[in-house]
Amino acid sequence: MKIPFKYTLRNFKSRKLTAIITVTGITLVVFVFTATLMMAFGIEKTLVATGSKDNLMILRKSSQGEITSIIDGEAQNIISTLPHIAKDENGKPLISTEPVVIINLEIKSGGLSNITVRGVTQMVYKLRSQVKLIEGRFFNPDLKELIVGKSIHKKFKGTEIGDVIKFAGDNWTIVGIFEAEKSGFESEIWGDSKQLLNSFNRGSSVSTMTLKLDDMSNLESFKRYFETEKRLLPYEVKIEQQFFAEQSEILSGFIRILGTFITVIFSFGAMIGAMITMYTSVANRTVEIGTLRALGFRRKNILIAFLLESLTISILGGLIGIFLASFLQFFSLSTLNWNSFAELEFSFSISFSIVISSIIFAFIMGIIGGFLPAVRAARLNIVNALRAG
């Protein structure tokens, strides 16, 4: 004979204060857990959105990021002659050679931070259609001019149109502000590739090359040509989206591990709270439990009823925590990308898998917090329980 669920709900209502306190504790723990996963997913989503699945990147093998990759002029010339590279209406290869450097800028709220400055060619606008000018104009490739991502414009001093930034011994004028569909490019400053190489005395060596194929079905064929060219052995080909996804792994992985560790510590408090609540419930309902046993309800029915009560509290707290965490999607954070050593702005982002993971986490807290009190309730002796009244 099963104990009806309304019995659990009735008991939940009869001790509102302790139940609310326990639900609040679980809510806070699940909120932190969900927020951590949302933060890690937000970083991944931002960097994945930075790359295109239709573009290829060429970089030096084993380089941890763009700033540690170097492609010399000879290799660039060889790559530009490989088959299957798409061309524009004038017959020029759709390739952008890109030196990447790091500079320091002053934050509006105080302090300094590293900023990525990317040199690009005019082909970049055909390769990265997500880049849209929202104010000013694009830079003149014959002048030392820059356009800044809107995240940089929002956070750093001296990034208004007309402002001058000094680095590498030259003065660079900001002439435009761009957005890039909330991708990592919005946390960068762009200028002309050759102008940047001249200022940093890098000759013709760039960090990476971005290109588009005439048809992505020719990718394997392009790779074979690339890999059989001995002069290109120090380099490798990656889909741009894949490269930027890999860039997110270390930082997002660290956030997940650290956040989960902190959440697990907090969860002990929530589980102890749930356990105390359930033990109190057992102590206050000794006669009631004895009566249920006398009416024919078996020990496992009592066990399930109290476990269900604990799970109801934990799932309720979990759902509230997820609901509150979902509002974090309206906020953005900036952090240092460990691969590029530069500023990266990202937004919290939620997914179905994060919701499921958070519910499972709340479920586990309910099971652990309610199991021992449920066992104690199930093991009460009928006669002793009735005498307690």
Domain membership of residue 240 (yes or no) is no
Same domain, 350 and 266: yes
Same domain, 283 and 347: yes
Domain membership of residue 241 (yes or no) is no
Nearest CA-CA partner of 38 in 244, 252, 249: 252
For residue 154, being part of any structural domain is answered with yes
Kindly state whether residue 55 falls inside one of the protein's structural domains: no
**Is 355 a residue whose pLDDT tops 80?**
yes
What is the reported pLDDT for 271? 72
Which residues span the domain enclosing 362?
5-48+247-387
Q: 354-358 long-range contacts, Cβ below 8 Å, gap at least 24?
A: 354/34, 354/37, 354/38, 354/41, 355/34, 355/322, 357/33, 357/37, 358/30, 358/33, 358/34, 358/37, 358/318, 358/321, 358/322, 358/325
Residue 238 placed within a domain:
no
Look at residue 320 and tell me whether its pLDDT is greater than 50: yes
Same domain (yes/no): 133, 197: yes
Predicted pLDDT at 71: 95
Given 175, 200, 233, which residue is the final one in a domain?
233
Band (385; pLDDT cuts 50, 70, 90): very low
Domain ends where: 233, 265, 293? 233
The better pLDDT of the pair 258, 384 is held by 258
What is the rounded distance in angstroms from the CA atom of residue 148 to the CA atom of residue 187?
Answer: 8
Is residue 239 one of the residues assigned to a domain?
Answer: no
Q: Is residue 40 part of a domain?
A: yes
Give the pLDDT confidence score for residue 46 in this predicted structure.
86
Identify whether residues 220 and 311 lie together within a single domain.
Answer: no
Q: Are strands 100-106 and 132-136 parallel, antiparallel or unpaired?
A: unpaired
Tell whether 364 and 252 lie within a shared domain.
yes
Q: Is the dihedral of CA 316, 318, 324, 326 positive or negative?
A: negative
Among 95-104, 120-129, 280-289, which stretch is predicted with the lowest mean pLDDT?
280-289
Query: Which of 38-52, 119-133, 236-250, 267-281 is the least confident region?
Result: 267-281
User: Which pTM value belongs to this model?
Assistant: 0.80
Q: In the prediction, which pLDDT does 75 show? A: 94
Is 127 in the same domain as 212?
A: yes
Strands 100-106, 145-149: pairing is unpaired
Q: Which tens digit of pLDDT belongs to each residue from 166-213?
A: 988 889 999 999 999 888 899 999 999 999 999 998 889 999 999 999
Same domain, 188 and 330: no
For residue 57, give the H/E element and its range. Answer: strand 55-60
Q: Are residues 106 and 188 in the same domain?
A: yes
Asked if residue 178 is part of any domain, the answer here is yes
Mean of pLDDT values over 314-343: 84
What pLDDT, in 10s, does the model give residues 44-71? 888 887 888 899 999 999 888 888 899 9
Q: What does pLDDT average to over the chain?
A: 83
Query: Looking at the predicted structure, is the pLDDT value of residue 31 above 80?
Result: yes
Instruction: Identify whether residues 112 and 164 lie together within a single domain.
Output: yes
Same domain, 36 and 72: no
* Total domains present in the chain: 2
What is the pLDDT at residue 58?
Answer: 94
Among 206, 233, 260, identify where a domain stops.
233
Same domain, 195 and 278: no
Are 297 and 201 within one domain?
A: no
In this prediction, residue 287 carries a pLDDT of: 57
Other beta carbons within 10 Å of 210: 24
